[in-house]
């Protein structure tokens, strides 16, 4: 979706050594892939940013991907999305029109048309990232985890363990979500209130309750079953979300523990704390 962060993704991939082509018409994807093949190792990783400005993106892209696969390449489709209110605010913030916006239409009109055009592309996506509550640094971390070749780290699956606060909204791009509001809240301990779950004192307070250790023990066993299944299915990127009230204490401490326990055996974990600093 326009405004969902494709410029950030392009910059991150360039930093990771990819050759990035922006705003390419889908019809040119096949010829570009042919040039890449002829270049041999000169262009080891190619990324192409495509949006709906051509209005025939879905059939053109589908044919182009079939053409690329016929050449012996294995394309990966990454789809970026965000909620309409957030996308509208982003366009208003940069004071630029939406690519599909007409002279008499609004940004919201253009977004509705774009969603309809891109729905089949979203369905064919290998990786989906929602950037509604994601800043540029968090998006960069997700993209690096998703698109870095597995051989570079020896891992088949990159797992993001995301802490969040329910009062700031539930992340929509998580495969699994856990609620740890059943644990005592350090917010009500005056000396711990200004601290976060990254501080040893807060983590110790959270895990002083036996239920915290029991939960992490049981949940990590369940998640290992999931990660093995994801690896068997060839999935390279997944998100597990852990929520508390504000995303500052309990969810952060639990997410750090889960990330530590799930790392290894072909899985690289990334602990991301979405709502730290928002209180």
Q: What is the pLDDT of residue 163?
A: 97
Specify whether the backbone of 17 is left (phi greater than 0), alpha (psi in -120 to 50) or beta. left
- At a CB cut-off of 8 Å and minimum separation 6, what does 271 contact? 160, 161, 163, 255, 256, 259
Between CA 234 and CA 77 the distance in angstroms is 14
Check if the beta carbon of residue 225 is closer than 8 Å to that of residue 142: no
Per-residue confidence band for 79, with pLDDT thresholds at 50, 70 and 90: very high
Q: What is the DSSP letter of 209?
A: S
Average pLDDT of the chain to the nearest whole number: 89
- Residues 40-49 have a mean pLDDT of 80
Q: What is the pLDDT of residue 61?
A: 87
- At a CB cut-off of 8 Å and minimum separation 6, what does 133 contact? 164, 168, 169, 171, 274, 275
pLDDT exceeds 70 at position 234: no
- pLDDT tens digit sequence for 103-162: 778 889 999 999 999 998 898 898 999 999 888 888 888 888 787 665 554 457 889 999
- pLDDT tens digit sequence for 83-95: 999 999 998 888 7
Q: Cα–chain-centroid distance for residue 276?
A: 18
Q: What is the pLDDT of residue 154?
A: 47
Q: What is the pLDDT of residue 157?
A: 85
- pLDDT tens digit sequence for 168-199: 999 988 999 999 999 999 999 999 999 999 99
Q: What is the pLDDT of residue 161?
A: 96
């Amino acid at each position: 979706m326009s405004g969902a962060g494709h410029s950030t993704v392009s910059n991150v991939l360039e930093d990771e050594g990819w050759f990035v082509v922006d705003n390419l018409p889908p019809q040119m994807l096949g010829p570009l892939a042919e040039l890449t093949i002829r270049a041999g190792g000169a262009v080891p990783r190619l990324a192409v940013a495509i949006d709906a400005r051509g209005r025939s993106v879905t059939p053109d892209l589908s044919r182009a991907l079939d053409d690329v696969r016929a050449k012996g390449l294995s394309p990966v489709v990454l789809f970026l999305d965000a909620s309409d209110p957030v996308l509208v605010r982003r366009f208003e913030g940069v004071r630029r029109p939406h690519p599909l916006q007409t002279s008499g239409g609004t940004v919201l009109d253009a977004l509705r048309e774009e969603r309809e055009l891109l729905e089949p592309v979203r369905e064919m996506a290998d990786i989906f990232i929602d950037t509604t509550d994601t800043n540029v640094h968090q998006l960069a971390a997700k993209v690096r985890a998703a698109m870095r070749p597995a051989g570079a780290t020896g891992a088949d699956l990159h797992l993001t363990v995301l802490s969040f606060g329910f009062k700031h909204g539930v992340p929509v791009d998580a495969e699994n979500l856990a609620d740890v509001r059943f644990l005592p809240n350090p917010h009500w301990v005056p000396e711990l209130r200004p601290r976060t779950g990254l501080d040893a004192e807060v983590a110790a307070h959270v895990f002083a309750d036996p239920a915290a250790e029991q939960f992490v023990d049981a949940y990590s066993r369940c998640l290992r079953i999931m990660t093995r299944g994801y690896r068997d299915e060839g999935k390279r990127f997944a998100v597990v979300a852990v929520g508390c009230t504000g995303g500052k204490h309990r969810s952060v401490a639990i997410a750090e523990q889960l990330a530590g326990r799930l790392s290894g055996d072909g899985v690289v974990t990334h602990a991301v704390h979405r709502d730290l600093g928002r209180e």
